[in-house]
Amino acid sequence: MPDTLMPSPAREYDAIIIGAGFSGLYQLHALRDRLGLKVRVLEAAEGIGGTWYWNRYPGARCDSESHSYCYTFSDELLSEWQWSERYPEHPEIRRYLNFVADRLDLKRDIQLSTRVQGASFDAASSRWTIRTEGGEVFSAQFLITAIGCLSSANVPKIPGLEEFRGDWYHTGEWPHEGVDFTGKRVGQIGTGSTGIQAAPVIASQAGHLTVFQRTPNYSVPAQNGPLSEEFKEELKRSYDEIKRIMRSNTNGHPFTIQDRSVFDLTPEQRTEVYEKAWQKGGLQFRANFRDILTSVEANDTAAEFIKGKIRSIVKDPATADKLANIDHPYAAKRPPIDSFYFETFNRENVSLEDIRADPIDRITPDGIRLRSGKEIKLDIIVFATGFDAMTGPFLRMDIRGRDGLTLAEAWEAGPRTYLGLGVPGFPNLFTVTGPGSPSVLCNMPVAIEQHVDWITAAIAKMRADGIATIEATEEATADWVAEGNRAAEATLLPQASSSWYLGANVPGKPRVFMPYAGGMAHYRGICDEVAAKGYKGFDLAPAMASAK
């Protein structure tokens, strides 16, 4: 290494955190302000916010309810911030994260516009060397990834894109100045949560919107709206109870899954329950029965109800057929919630192309041509095509553990972690909401707080006991991967063959169910037990013994 690239003393840290979204901000606060560590956050973007820095597409808002989509570790933060709507829109979430960063004086330790190119572990010093694309080098005992699960945009390699004469955008890298759709012919590829949020807003501005649908999707109305003063007052009174529910249930949301089977009710009673849930709106729809995600027969009742709704909303029967021709159980893919998505197809200026029946052949200079030869002329293409989820953000960096082992090699057949927190061969690397943890199956701030608290406690313990390295063992990792598969197989989640949970949306990606499906509360108990048993499943090595 040339001398100029040697880490200077000023660049020596106890911990380097990659990412300044929900995870990175809290991890910085926890390590710096609770443990007194010297910490730096490296963030690729020009501002903080993580997911919400990048996702500024029309209609982008969170599917978790605002009062649950925030930190709960500080009562002061909770009482000083007020959300305006049931589901927060992207600018409000950025305002919130900036409020937190200012309130906790975090920005002085966050280095923006700094993309990490790679990191390597040196067994002799038990430290990580972190390199940025700008050529800076940092050294730290701990490397903590707070890089988000959905931060690596997936732009499909459709032939001809480079010849397209119009403009194109990926929803996850949306221009800050916005896009003017007025009078434009817009093609939107993708009908996941993003596409379902974006289509109604784009349609309201565009000359014409064509939605290219590969896999039809369920959606339930969000029933979004401003929060009433009564609700805000009630919230103040009941926050302790809400926190308790969020931290003790399966999915980290402020509601519990009801302990009754679909078949405890008559068909008429069931329909009444679903109708009420539809009117109430939101992800809570799936929480009405305990067996929706475990029994195909139970799931069918919810699926049929939603398909019936689609047919009753969409006036053109052929379009309704295409939208309701859904091939997977309800909520086996991440279930979207929407504001007038199906209603959008009743507009004169909106059409739907079923690209499962007639796939995209190529992008032409003037639009998109389907295999049948039909060409749709377009001025703008919007890729609402999702992300290389969970592993993508890791593998676009060159992370090397012991003996030069790359993470790409270690994860060749899919991600292998212990608890989604550590990787064998990569000592002192902590992965906030990493693959193998509940992460995206949980309301994210709850999953993040649990991980940050666990990591912080582990580091505090290491410091107290003079431990230099912590490293997941191969054996514990193999057991955890098996447990992850068992937990997924106990649900209907793996049955959605096109799901990004399985990596199926990215050609060539190993098909492994990536998040832990055993439930957040259960997972929290496992993590607590691991810690209580002296970090069982991790090798802890004192300074001299850490160079294996």
Q: Between 214 and 322, whose beta carbon lies closer to ligand NA7?
A: 214
Closer residue to ligand NA7 (CB): 106 or 440: 440
Q: What is the DSSP letter of 242?
A: H
Beta-strand relationship, 116-122 and 127-132: antiparallel
Cα angle, residue 221 at apex, residues 216 and 226 outer, rounded to 5° = 145
Beta-carbon contacts of residue 159 (< 8 Å; ≥ 6 apart): 362, 363
| By the rule CB under 6 A, 50 interacts with ligand NA7 | no
Contact 501, 493 (CB under 8 A): yes
Q: Give the shortest CB-330-to-ligand NA7 separation in angstroms.
A: 14
Q: Is 421 in the site for ligand NA7 (CB under 6 A)?
A: no
Contacts for 266 with CB less than 8 Å, ≥ 6 apart: none
Q: Contact between 513 and ligand NA7 (CB under 6 A)? A: no
Min CB(193)–ligand NA7 separation in Å: 4
Nearest-approach distance from CB 155 to ligand NA7, in angstroms: 9
Residue nearest to ligand NA7 (CB): 192
273 binds ligand NA7, rule: CB under 6 A: no
Nearest distance from residue 507's CB to ligand NA7, in Å? Answer: 8
User: What's the closest the beta carbon of residue 370 comes to ligand NA7, in angstroms?
Assistant: 11
Q: Which of residues 66, 120, 152, 191 is near ligand NA7 by CB under 6 A?
A: 191
The binder of ligand NA7 chosen from 456, 505, 512, 538 (CB under 6 A): 505
The smaller minimum CB distance to ligand NA7, of residues 332 and 527, is found at: 332
Q: Which of 99, 122, 123 is nearest to 49 (CA)?
A: 99
d(CA 81, CA 382): 34
Encode burial over 332-361: b for 16+ CB neighbours within 10 A, e otherwise. Answer: bbbbbbbbbbbbbbebeebebbbbeeeebb
Stretch (H or E) spanning 118 = strand 116-122
Applying CB under 6 A, the span of 248-256, 271-279, 378-386, 403-411 interacting with ligand NA7 comes to 378-386
Check if the beta carbon of residue 336 is closer than 8 Å to that of residue 219. Answer: yes
Token pair belonging to 546: 């850490």
The answer to whether 517 contacts ligand NA7 (rule: CB under 6 A) is no
Query: Which tokens is 533 given?
Result: 């048993």
**Which SS3 state, helix, strand or coil, does residue 14 take?**
strand
Please list the residues that pair with 221 across neighbouring strands.
338
Residue 543 token pair: 């300074």
- Per-residue b or e along 147-175, where b marks 16 or more CB atoms closer than 10 Å to that residue's CB: bbbbbbbbbbebeeeeebebeebbbbebe
Q: Phi, psi at residue 42, to the nearest 5°?
A: -105, 125
Taking the CA atoms of the chain, what radius of gyration do you get in angstroms?
Answer: 24
Q: Which of 118, 156, 160, 166 binds ligand NA7 (CB under 6 A)?
A: 156
Cβ 500 to ligand NA7 shortest distance, Å: 4
**Does residue 384 touch ligand NA7 according to CB under 6 A?**
yes
Is 150 an interacting residue with respect to ligand NA7 (CB under 6 A)? yes
DSSP classification of residue 32? I
Under rule CB under 6 A, residue 334 binds ligand NA7: yes
Q: Stretches 13-21, 192-200, 255-263, 410-418: which one binds ligand NA7 (CB under 6 A)?
A: 192-200
Name residues contacting ligand NA7, limited to 104-143 (CB under 6 A). Answer: none
Residue 61's contacts (CB-CB under 8 Å, 6 or more residues apart) are 85, 87, 88, 89, 90, 197, 224
- Lay out the site mask for ligand NA7 across 199-238 (x = CB under 6 A, - = otherwise): ---------------xx-----------------------
Nearer to ligand NA7, 360 or 540 (CB): 360
Q: Binding string, 340-359, against ligand NA7, x = CB under 6 A?
A: ---------------x----
Q: State the nearest-atom distance from the C-beta of 78 to ligand NA7, in Å.
A: 24
CB of 34 to ligand NA7, least distance (A): 30
Of the two residues 131 and 286, which places its CB atom closer to ligand NA7 in the complex?
286
Determine the interface stretch with ligand NA7 among 11-19, 69-77, 80-88, 191-199 (rule: CB under 6 A): 191-199
Comparing CB distances to ligand NA7, the nearer of 171 and 469 is: 171
CA 453 to chain centre: 19
Residues 6+ positions from 377 with CB-CB distance below 8 Å: 185, 366, 367
- Tell me which residues in 3-22 interact with ligand NA7 (CB under 6 A): none
Classify 438 as helix, strand or coil: coil
- Measured from the CB atom, the residue of 121 and 330 that comes closer to ligand NA7 is 330
Q: Which residues bind ligand NA7 (CB under 6 A)?
A: 150, 156, 189-195, 214-215, 334, 355, 384-386, 440, 498, 500, 505
